[in-house]
């Protein structure tokens, strides 16, 4: 009986000390949206708790918060944004693969694709990457 009680205490103490698991989408990402009017760069921060997803998306047009769901490496959320043409809801669906992310968006009048890379990656700028490097540094995405 005493051995069973000790084993139970050891097992429970292991569960209590285990931190909440972080999912693959958690963190900051540098994104590029392929739109009918060309590419749009943005950054996103995702945080999960269980199957609940929250975050913010920032671009030259501003910043918006969102809530959604996550299951494994797949996730979805809806952003409500104000545009010069009125309020708009944008359905976002995506999937994470390591340090890469991609998905689709639907703004009611059309659909598009987006992709990105995990942010806070360190790299050295060279002449070929200088414009992109400056953009990412301005967005505080990389160092």
Backbone angles phi, psi at 71, to 5 degrees: -140, 105
More confident residue, 138 or 30: 30
Evaluate whether 136 touches 130 at the Cβ level (below 8 Å).
Answer: no
DSSP 128: G
- Per-residue pLDDT tens for 14-63? 333 333 445 689 999 999 999 878 899 999 999 999 999 999 999 888 89
- Per-residue pLDDT tens for 62-114? 899 999 999 999 999 999 988 888 899 999 999 999 999 999 999 888 899 99
Evaluate whether 113 touches 102 at the Cβ level (below 8 Å).
Answer: yes
Whole-number pLDDT of residue 132: 62
What the block records as the tokens of 133 is 């490097």
Distance, in Å, from the CA atom of 4 to the CA atom of 24, rounded to the nearest integer, reads 37
Distance, in Å, from the CA atom of 95 to the CA atom of 97, rounded to the nearest integer, reads 7
User: Looking at the whole model, is its pTM more than 0.85?
Assistant: no
């Amino acid at each position: 009986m005493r051995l069973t009680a000790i084993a139970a205490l050891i097992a429970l103490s292991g569960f209590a000390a285990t931190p909440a698991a972080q999912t693959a989408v958690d963190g900051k990402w540098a994104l590029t949206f392929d739109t009918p009017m060309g590419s749009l760069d943005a950054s996103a921060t995702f945080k999960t708790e269980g199957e609940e997803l929250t975050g913010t998306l920032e671009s030259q047009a501003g910043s918006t918060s969102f809530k959604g769901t996550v299951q494994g490496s797949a996730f979805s959320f809806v952003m409500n944004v104000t545009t010069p043409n009125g309020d708009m809801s944008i359905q976002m669906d995506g999937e994470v693969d390591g340090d890469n992310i991609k998905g689709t968006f639907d703004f009611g009048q059309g659909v598009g694709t987006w992709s990105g890379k995990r942010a806070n990656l360190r790299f050295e700028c060279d002449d070929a990457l200088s414009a992109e490097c400056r953009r990412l540094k301005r967005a505080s995405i990389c160092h």
